[in-house]
Amino acid sequence: MNILVLPGDGIGPEIVDQAVEIIKILSPDFKLNYGLIGGAAYDAHSDPFPSDTLDKALSADSVLLGAVGDWKYDKLPRDKRPERGLLRIRTALNLFANLRPAILYPQLAEASTLKPEIVSGLDILIVRELTGDIYFGQPRGIEKNNHGEREGINTMRYSESEIRRIGHVAFKMAQLRGKKLCSVDKANVLEATELWREVMTDLSSHYPDVDLSHMYVDNAAMQLIREPKQFDVMVTGNIFGDILSDEASMLTGSIGMLPSASLDENQKGLYEPSHGSAPDIAGKDIANPIATILSVAMMYKYTFNEINKAEKIEKAVGKVLNDGYRTLDIMSKGCKQIGCKQMGELILRNIINE
Ligand code: IPM
Ligand code: MG
């Protein structure tokens, strides 16, 4: 197997280093290939997603990504900015299904800003559509209108087939879990999501064992804070999923804990932490590598179908947390604070000693 590693910007390289060590131990036969994306690629090639990276990504079996972005690129034209690199690789590889689990490790119940009884045992899966919606809809741009005033324009757009294919993924995920699926939309105001609700409802006849419900996105944002354990699987469009998945991450104590998988129709995937590049703490060895390490666990599970190895990683993470080790973002009283590198090494040691 051939894995393309794209460390990216900010804390990307340091967290990816830790995750790569784990792949090397678990799969010494895997070939690791490196490429550039985001600001790092812009610096080298004036392009956040150079053709060399595209070629490598197309021929890889799976992609591991760190994070992209830095404030220093904020003034560049939009198509040169690091985020564009991420959006382009999602499109190029047709990664329409983004899985973002929000699981609270019981050891971290204290790290959440919510009361422990609200979040303990939390295990939600957010299924976010990743290649459509207002992120990509045309027309878009900033244009002068008839009165000579500038207007910002974006278009929320979903075709039936786009909704259907992400719906199938979400229903199937629900079948493998608690058999509850909540579809999130804004059907009371937006036609694009009125169609979304209709298609999800139609699909549900193929999955009689799954209990489908619908919720408006504003209510969903509230319910996630009020009573998050009511949810099993949530499915939603690109923009709502972007927002709700950040919100859900904080239920678990830190966005530094959350992995993600972005999959195409054939389970080829790009795996990355749900968090960003955090340039303010880059290079200081204080970032939390766990989200990236758990993304490798997702890679074993979804792309390589090696559940065994995925569980080994998850167990090792649990063990290190049990032993009281914490990075800064999940630190609480009585625990031992360690850096990114040491966190990676401890998890690795637990995998080896298992
Ligand atoms: C995410 C990020 C990206 C998104 C940005 C960096 C383009 O926030 O993966 O959630 O909006 O999808
Ligand atoms: Mg986001």
Question: What CATH number has the domain bearing residue 119?
Answer: 3.40.718.10
Please, are residues 122 and 103 in contact by the beta-carbon 8 Å criterion?
Answer: yes
Residue that has been written with the tokens 């600001």 in this structure: 39
Distance in angstroms (rounded) separating the CA atoms of residues 57 and 6: 10
- Give the structural domain span for 322: 1-95+269-354
Whether residue 81 sits in one domain with residue 130: no
CA distance 30 to 279: 30
- Report if pTM > 0.75: yes
Q: Name the band, by pLDDT with cuts 50, 70 and 90, for residue 19.
A: very high
Q: How far apart are CA 25 and CA 334, in angstroms?
A: 31
Closest ligand 1 atom to the C-alpha of 83? 7
Cα 40 to middle of ligand 1, angstroms: 17
Are 145 and 256 found together in one domain?
yes
Do residue 134 and residue 85 come from a single domain? no
Dist. CA 108 → ligand 2 center (Å): 22
234 DSSP β-pair partners: 126, 182
**pLDDT of res. 38:** 97
Best of 87, 98, 133 for a ligand 1 pocket test (most atoms within 8 Å of beta carbon): 87
Average pLDDT over residues 12-41: 98
Asked whether the beta carbons of 212 and 184 are under 8 A apart, the reply is no
| 78 alpha carbon, distance to own chain's centre | 22
Mark whether 128 and 195 lie in a shared domain: yes
Residues 204 and 179 in one domain: yes
Task: Tell me the ligand closest to 262's alpha carbon.
Answer: 1
Closest atom of ligand 1 relative to the 246 alpha carbon? 10
DSSP tag of 266: T
Neighbours of 78 (CB within 10 A): 10
Residue 83 near ligand 1, beta carbon < 6 Å: yes
Using pLDDT thresholds of 50, 70 and 90, give the confidence band for residue 108: confident
Whether residue 324 sits in one domain with residue 290: yes
The CA distance from 350 to 217, in Å, is 41
Identify the residue whose C-alpha is closest to ligand 1 atom 10: 242
Domain count, the chain: 2
Distance 96 CA to ligand 1 centre (A): 13
Question: Do 180 and 306 fall within a single domain?
Answer: no
Q: Which residues are designated catalytic?
A: 135, 186, 218, 242, 246
Domain co-membership, 17 together with 149: no
Based on the domain organization, do 65 and 163 belong to the same domain?
Answer: no
pLDDT in tens, 186-235: 999 999 999 999 999 999 999 999 999 999 999 999 999 999 999 999 99
Task: Give the pLDDT confidence of 245-266 residue by residue, as tens digits.
Answer: 989 988 887 888 999 999 999 9
Output the CA 225–ligand 1 centroid distance in Å. 21
Of the residues 211, 238, 263, the one at which a domain ends: 263
| Whether residue 88 sits in one domain with residue 113 | no
Nearest residue CA, atom 5 of ligand 1? 83
pLDDT digits (tens, 9 = 90+) for 154-166: 999 999 999 999 9
d(CA 232, CA 122): 9
Q: Tell me: do 321 and 202 sit in the same domain.
A: no
Last residue of a domain, one of 263, 290, 306: 263
Distances (CA, A) of 81 to 46, 124, 342: 10, 32, 32
Domain boundary among 204, 230, 263: 263
Instruction: Read off the pLDDT of each residue in 134-144 and give the average, rounded to a whole number.
Output: 96
Residue with tokens 């560049």, as numbered in its chain: 76
Task: Mark whether 135 and 234 lie in a shared domain.
Answer: yes
Q: Which amino acid belongs to residue 332?
A: S
Nearest-CA neighbor of 210 among 177, 238, 188, 185?
177
Report CA-CA distances (Å) from 344 to 25, 63, 254, 315.
Answer: 13, 20, 17, 14
Interstrand relation of 97-103 and 31-34 (parallel, antiparallel or unpaired): unpaired
